[in-house]
Structure 1
């Protein structure tokens, strides 16, 4: 084992770093997902239709979240990643609190734009810090632990947001989570520091030891077939994943007769139980199989998409709430399997000093298409289908969108062989 790899393994600070990054990511998704459970009271108060609500959940957030992530990640790669994350946390939490003061569509649209700008600086630098602190063979598992912030944050956002909105009002829910994030930001910076980057080995392509620029990193990724297949495969699945995550509470209230608290409990439990199992299972499985063949970093997610589509269809079509929960539980877990494997693969397409930038370029594609398009597309399709299906239009909108998982499964299957060729080895890899 080389000295750099050994230093990564024995660093006792890495677990503190991972824990704090996880807490920040939980806040990230609390702030992001709370809008879904608050959709019904916001629509009633501000007189918004499904298409407008879809814009708030998707385009308003994703537009600057996706585009600003690239320059902020490049800044983090070339300066200090922990400072970029801390300032971003403070910014998005402030704009989340401002959502509670809005009085019409355009005011809340602009506030959600601000949330997106803030969160743009959080995720890609966090991926890169985890890559710096954890060796290659443990990276998918570490990134999966970090990605637990998605189901935990989403679940807590849904549960807390639903309870606060039902007992007080939806504005107080935004105030509560936003102000909590403002308190967390200085604590994070106090406990988390940057680490020296690992070194790529000499026989890997594009291993300039200097920090590559944004243009240079983009040029490297553009030449790699695996990057495009992974990015568009994840983006296709994210259109469905973000769409279902945003609109499922509304479906539960419209088609299953749930009230706000019942919908938050059903969906929150689904996110927590299914999401945690899926995220950790995907990371552990990819680290085990990927050590034998790097193609498994895309094949594991591809299989999850293939299995998840018919199970989601059964849950969406069900008329029994208890049975629907069981039907949704497994595909909800499968929907999260991709995170650890794909994020690890993206980290290994560039030299270590360019990880945040590479992650941001991946997220640019994934979020513009998946987050920006999926929530709006399902909402707009629901609005278009309302004259035909009435209150059941949202159910049919989700069913039609399940074809996106088939596209994702094919793209992930094709990415496997390309990963074998494009992988950048670093010290400590076999």
Structure 2
């Protein structure tokens, strides 16, 4: 392992907090660049003459193909080499390709540039999970990972807000270019100021000097059913999470006649408020209840998924904008409560030397199904339902797919029955 670390992760709360803030900023750009396509979709659809299925390919498989394929090998490098370098290079790559999206003149150019965004982002998240686990002790990891996950709603909200406002003033192409160049500017700051910590330095037993092979990691996980139940449960929730993030701006335009600026402000507010509340609540409950019973790391998200369904159903069917906003904020919070407790549980199911790779396997499943299938399936179903529901086909596509949250809840409840047994013990 190459490392520029000090021998002690506890060099101060202030520095640990700084590192977490920098990683959150990187994650914010991860989601700005990942989700900006959703708010720009109507403008791109009109200019490039695309269908909902075409947009689904751009928002889903175009990004997910290499994002999922490259995630595991890059994470294996992160279990062996300097993680800050890997994250820095990844940030530069995905930001550069985001800027290039603004130059696309047809479907296939935009498709290829989105593939490039996925290649870059493949090296951002799993190494960051591993870094955070080495900067924060076990009793604080659920909250630290939840705080890191703030990058999800903040990035989504800023991508929606700035993407919409920039596109409204100077066009959708400049929205891609400006956001991409801003991410490139962050890369040097990350590399120059974030040190590489000792692996497993805050765990009871220090990490082994040599990271295990992928075969060994898979063999370890094969004996932990809770890992696979959490991974597939999260992936079913992500079908709707990513699907709604991409398609709700188009829904607000088609079913409620919102302008680009109005839907940017409206949806960014939902994502920001609901996301922050839900992620922090999930992380807090994960640390408190999970400390009492490890099964609660899965029970908390499962319960939240079930409660979210009727709220989403009501929000999609109501017309009053104020009540609709409130009804969307509540399930948006509930649907993101899984991040802190689940990611913490995944870190604790394996030894420190396996964390980046096991996280990448988890993300591979979650993103291949969630991103790769969710956005495309909702768009395809909208096209299929157009003959019956016309302009409202997207509304019914969303309603029919809420069942994925119920499937996610079932898998998380099943995982809760195995977590204590599968927990890694030194």
Tell me, yes or no, whether TM beats 0.5. Answer: yes
Residue 335, structure 1, aligned to residue 310, structure 2 = no
Shift of 1:141: 0.2
- SS of corresponding position for 1:78: coil
Shift of 1:37: 0.3
- The equivalent of 1:323 in structure 2 is 323
Q: 1:273-288 counterparts in 2 under 5 A?
A: 273-288=273-288
Shift of 1:210: 3.8
Residue-by-residue CA offset, 1:277-318 (whole Å, 9 max, x unaligned) = 001000011000011101111000000001001110000111
Selected match of 2:189 from 179, 187, 190: 187
Count of residues in Structure 1 that have an aligned counterpart in Structure 2 = 421
- The equivalent of 2:97 in structure 1 is 95
Shift of 1:67: 1.3
- The equivalent of 1:158 in structure 2 is 160
Q: Which is further off, 360-369 or 348-357?
A: 348-357
Residue-by-residue CA offset, 1:120-139 (whole Å, 9 max, x unaligned) = 00000000000011011100
Q: 1:248-327 counterparts in 2 under 5 A?
A: 248-327=248-327
- SS of corresponding position for 1:111: helix
Q: Quick one: distance in 1 between partners of 2:162 and 2:341?
A: 30
Shift of 1:200: 9.4
Q: 1:205-284 counterparts in 2 under 5 A?
A: 210-284=210-284
Residue 26, structure 1, aligned to residue 35, structure 2 = no
Residue-by-residue CA offset, 1:18-45 (whole Å, 9 max, x unaligned) = 1100000001111111100000000001
Shift of 1:16: 1.4
- The equivalent of 1:387 in structure 2 is 387
Q: Quick one: distance in 2 between partners of 1:201 and 1:318?
A: 50
Residue 358, structure 1, aligned to residue 369, structure 2 = no
Shift of 1:319: 1.9
Q: 1:58-73 counterparts in 2 under 5 A?
A: 58-73=60-75
Shift of 1:9: 8.3
Q: Which runs of 5+ in 1 are unaligned?
A: none
Indicate if the aligned counterparts of 1:58 and 1:371 stay in contact, CA closer than 8 A: yes
Selected match of 1:136 from 115, 124, 138: 138
- The equivalent of 2:418 in structure 1 is 418
Pair 252,350 (structure 1): closer, same or farther in 2 beyond 3 Å: same
- The equivalent of 1:121 in structure 2 is 123
Pair 20,202 (structure 1): closer, same or farther in 2 beyond 3 Å: closer
Shift of 1:208: 6.1
- SS of corresponding position for 1:326: helix
Shift of 1:7: 5.2
Shift of 1:211: 1.7
Pair 200,145 (structure 1): closer, same or farther in 2 beyond 3 Å: closer
Q: Quick one: distance in 1 between partners of 2:152 and 2:196?
A: 23
Shift of 1:202: 8.6
Q: Which is further off, 218-227 or 250-259?
A: 218-227
Q: Quick one: distance in 1 between partners of 2:90 and 2:238?
A: 23
Shift of 1:215: 1.8
Indicate if the aligned counterparts of 1:46 and 1:104 stay in contact, CA closer than 8 A: yes
Shift of 1:354: 1.3
Per the normalisation by structure 1, the TM-score is 0.95
Selected match of 2:110 from 104, 108, 111: 108
Indicate if the aligned counterparts of 1:55 and 1:376 stay in contact, CA closer than 8 A: yes
